[in-house]
A and B are shown apart, each in its own frame.
Chain A
């Protein structure tokens, strides 16, 4: 059961244009969403996050939008730069258990390529 889905395995964008990466989820209990960027042979690097009580969060060139009714979030990168070429993972978390422990549920990732 894939609770977090990234339906586009790859995306190619021209340098300077906007990159939009999409993510859908099924579990309405998720209360926090994150985007990670990953280069080969390295661990994921945190990019930006959003709480389920918000619908937008912005950090420099990165903006994450959350549409709870559609159970959809997206990451916008403007303008796209060659260094943005990497695999992007969206992740969702839910607290559970007495101690409020949590885990991250990841999507399958989208490989973004920025063309010069």
Chain B
């Protein structure tokens, strides 16, 4: 079956712009989480969506937002980009059956802010 698909793979933006990243989870997976990976901070949790509702949010400023659609696809948006937002953004999906803790990650979107 198809894995977690993230688009685009690479993105270059300038400071002050906004960006939208997309994630298509594995078919049947209802939970989608987003993580930011940077060399200094490692993998940091951004937020998690389940059935179009944000259940958890990490410790990131309000410039970072997301949403999930009825088909479980998710988008995250970063407004007023800063140089420090340059990172690999990873999406993970899970079936969330209550006992299944399996998270499958996509290959990520590499965002560079110049």
Query: Which residue numbers of A lie inside 8 Å of B, CB to CB?
Result: 32, 34, 36, 41-46, 49, 89, 91, 93, 96-97, 99-109
Contacts of A42 in B (CB 8 A): 107-108
Q: Measured between C-beta atoms, what is the minimum distance from B29 to chain A in Å?
A: 14
Using A99-B50, A103-B58, A104-B45 as known contacts, say yes or no to A43 and B108 having CB atoms under 8 A apart.
yes
Using A97-B55, A101-B48, A103-B45 as known contacts, say yes or no to A43 and B33 having CB atoms under 8 A apart.
no
Interface size on B, residues (CB 8 A): 25
The segment out of B64-72, B77-85, B98-106 that lies at the interface is B98-106
Where chain B touches its partner, the secondary structure class is strand
B61 is an interface residue with CB less than 8 A from chain A: no
Contacts of B110 in A (CB 8 A): 41
8-52 of chain B: CB within 8 A of chain A: 33, 35, 42-45, 48, 50
Asked whether A97 lies within 8 Å of B101 as measured between CB atoms, the reply is no
**Partner of B43 from A96, A97, A106 at Cβ < 8 Å:** A106
Asked whether B42 lies within 8 Å of A104 as measured between CB atoms, the reply is no
Asked whether A109 lies within 8 Å of B42 as measured between CB atoms, the reply is yes
B90 is an interface residue with CB less than 8 A from chain A: yes
**Partner of A46 from B42, B90, B102, B106 at Cβ < 8 Å:** B102
**Listed A/B pairs (16) with beta-carbon separation below 8 Å:** A34-B101, A36-B105, A41-B110, A43-B90, A43-B108, A44-B105, A46-B104, A89-B42, A99-B55, A100-B98, A101-B50, A104-B33, A104-B35, A106-B35, A108-B42, A109-B42
